[in-house]
Amino acid sequence: MQQSYFVIGTDTNVGKTYIASALIRHFVQAGNKTVGMKPIASGCEISQHGIWQGQLVNEDALALHEASNIKPALNLINPYRFAPAIAPHIAAQQAGVQVEISVITSAYQQLAAMADVVVVEGAGGFLVPINAQQTMADLAVTLDLPLVLVVGMRLGCINHALLTVEAIKARGLKLAGWVANQIEPQMPMFEGNLVSLQQRIDAPCLSVVRWQGEAKEFKF
């Protein structure tokens, strides 16, 4: 198998890392050399132990690394790392760094040369800025990978999901599928919202993850 995926979300804190890590384990269990990539991360801290001791490390990148069965250098897994837990482009500005898509692309290509599957996890939502001119969507266009959309199942999710799907289609990208991830434990009308999304998104629902449930199987 030689295939990679770009995991995006309808917003921040919708479970992208959880689903991306589960996807990595899915492909590992199928016998593929699989690695996770987090191109841009804010909210990093200096690691006090382990192989990345003394380096800025993001907990999302660490989760992807732990799920992977090949272990590249941190700079390939997570090329851009910033300490403040704020929007990536603002964190980069504060650090005096210009996020370059070419740097991310180079790191991705090196990972793809090592692995059968690369699972790339975005930051924030699909249109979150990464520098003064470009957004996460521009990175998706450059990498041109099939997208997996994580829909945070809560009040308002239908609008957020359909707007994201529309933005994906407008850029000519392929939506490989989407995951319904229940992030609001007492979400009213969960089933009704799920059915509404299934009726309106022209891509398969790969998995339905209940509140604090486990993402085990993906229906590609």
Catalytic (active-site) positions: 38
Q: What is the DSSP string of the chain?
A: ----EEEEESSSSSSHHHHHHHHHHHHHHTT--EEEE-SEE-S-EE--SSTTTTSEE-HHHHHHHHH-SS---HHHH-SEE-SSSS-HHHHHHHHT----HHHHHHHHHHHHHH-SEEEEEEEEETT-BSSSS-BHHHHHHHHTPPEEEEEEESTTHHHHHHHHHHHHHHTT--EEEEEEEE-STT-TTHHHHHHHHHHH-SS-EEEEE-TT--------
Contact 79, 104 (CB under 8 A): yes
Contact 64, 17 (CB under 8 A): yes
| CA gap 142, 66 in Å, rounded | 27
Contact 107, 101 (CB under 8 A): no
